[in-house]
Structures are given as structure tokens and as C-alpha cells.
Amino acid sequence: MHLPISDKIELNILHQNSNQAEKNKVKFNNYNLLCLNIMSSPGAGKTRLLEKTLEDLSKKFHSAVLEGDMTTNLDAARLEKLNIPVVPITTGRACHLDANMVSGGLKLLEKKINPDLLDILLIENVGNLVCPAEFEIGEHFKVALLSITEGEDKPLKYPIMFREADLILITKVDLLPHLNFDINELKSNIASTNPKADVIEISSITKSGFDLWQDWISKKILKFKNN
């Protein structure tokens, strides 16, 4: 045996995922298709938000959904009722979507519709505030939901998720009168974790904040298409 040799690598552990995410993004760009990665804890209201969002959004923009779910197609079935292309991605025991799964989902979507005809692809990630934050999937923007029933401290407890987000939606604000919840403390915790993020308070029941959310999406689509 010879003496040990040290080979400098300096390689990202997630480089295979990052490479695939970059390929996904190139595909989205070639299709002129804006892609949002929607993330939150389980039960924060991602699917309900998408249902209510797509009721209006799909009248203005050609929309599709990749629906990440660990074990069921229940969420995908809910969204299919809106008559838009929906592809379920069942992750099995994996607690997040990765770029390879999204690539597979995109191939299935291509069989349903020519993505050139689409304006926006909404990808609902698996409910989890940890792993999805580390795995790029090729998205243009990350949207994190945080429901007020989860507590004001979550941006501090799960800082990477909220640090990575371009937009943070504070959901279920219709429950504010019924809870002992300090929304200013939550906003302060968001600001200290990610001062650059856009923040919108929203309710999928009363649809308060939906005008701002729809406006945010519309502006992103139009800017993307004009570039």
C-alpha cells in the first residue's frame, strides 16, 4: 500500500439533484412556463389554496399542477375537478419532492398537454418544513405557506424554509378572531429570518388577500414571458 492521498473535490453533496433541477428549469424556460414550488407543513392549506387560486387563475392563464403526495392521490383528485392538467407524484416514503421526481412528473404532463400551451406550473410539494427547503426542483420561485394555527415561532424554528422562500403566505387568517395569535410577532419573525420575502395574509375561506396573491402571480408570469 502507498501513503494516503487527499483529493480535493469541493463538490455539492446534492449536485446530482442540482444538475437535474437545472435541466428541469431549462425545460420550463424553453416552454416559456413559469414554475412555482409551493411548500408548507402538512395541513397549512396548500391544496385548498390551489383549488381557490385556480378557480380564477385558470380563466386568465393556462395552468397545470404537479401534485406531490407521499401515499395517496387524494389532493390530485381534488384539483382534477377544476378541469386543468394535474399529474400526481407519489413519493412513497420520501418526505419531499426532488428534481428527478419532478422531471418524471413533467414527462407525464407532456403526455397530457403540450407545455408550450401553458403559462404556469404550480408544484405542490409534500407537506414538510425541513427537507423541501434544501431540494431545488427547477422552480423559478418558492412560495411557503404558514398557517396561523401553527404558531408565531415557526420562522425561527424552521428558518431555512422561510429563508429560501420568495413569497410567504400567512394562511387561515379568517381564524384570527378565534385564536390567541399575534400576527405582528409572526411578521417580525419572518422579517428577521428573511427580510427580502414578500408576505401576504390570506384566507381560502373568505378569499381575503387573494387579490394580492393573484396579482403577485400575474406579475411574475407577465415579467417571465416578457424576458
Place of cell 396579482: 215
Residue with smaller CB distance to another protein, 162 or 224: 162
Note whether 70 and 132 are within 8 A (CB): no
x-or-dash string of contact with another protein, 159-198, rule CB under 8 A: xx--x------------------------xx-xxx-xx--
Interface with another protein, residue 19, by CB under 8 A:
no
DSSP state of 195: T
Residues with Cβ < 8 Å from 104, sequence gap 6 or more?
Answer: 89
From candidates 51, 56, 110, 134, binder to another protein by CB under 8 A: 134
Q: Closest approach of Cβ 120 to another protein, in Å?
A: 28
x-or-dash string of contact with another protein, 191-210, rule CB under 8 A: xxx-xx--------------
For helices 99-112 and 15-30, the axis angle rounded to 10 degrees is 30
Interface with another protein, residue 93, by CB under 8 A:
no
Interface with another protein, residue 131, by CB under 8 A:
yes
Say how far apart CA 67 and CA 73 lie, in whole Å.
8
Q: Closest approach of Cβ 191 to another protein, in Å?
A: 5
Interface with another protein, residue 40, by CB under 8 A:
no
Interface with another protein, residue 13, by CB under 8 A:
yes
Interface with another protein, residue 114, by CB under 8 A:
no
Interface with another protein, residue 83, by CB under 8 A:
no
Residues in contact with another protein, counted by CB under 8 A, come to a total of 30
Long-range contacts of 150-157 (CB under 8 A, 24+ apart): 150/41, 150/44, 151/181, 152/181, 152/182, 152/183, 152/185, 152/186, 152/189, 153/189, 154/41, 154/129, 154/186, 154/189, 155/186, 155/189, 155/190, 155/192, 155/193, 155/194, 156/189, 156/192, 156/193
Which residues sit at the interface with another protein, rule CB under 8 A? 1-14, 130-131, 133-134, 156-157, 159-160, 163, 188-189, 191-193, 195-196
